[in-house]
Amino acid sequence: GIKCQDALMETQIKTYAASIEKKYGSLSDDAMMECINIIHQGGSGALTRILAKTQKPYTAKTIYAALCTDRRTSPIITRSATT
pLDDT value of position 80: 57
Whether 77 shows a pLDDT value over 70: the answer reads no
Whether this prediction's pTM lies above 0.85 is answered by: no
Total length of the chain: 83
**CB under 8 Å to 34, separation ≥6 — which residues?**
60, 63, 64, 67
Alpha carbons 34 and 56: distance in angstroms, whole number: 15
Whether 42 shows a pLDDT value over 70: the answer reads yes
pLDDT grade, residue 35 (50/70/90)? very high
Residue ranges of alpha helices (H) inside the chain are 2-24, 29-42, 44-52, 60-67, 74-81
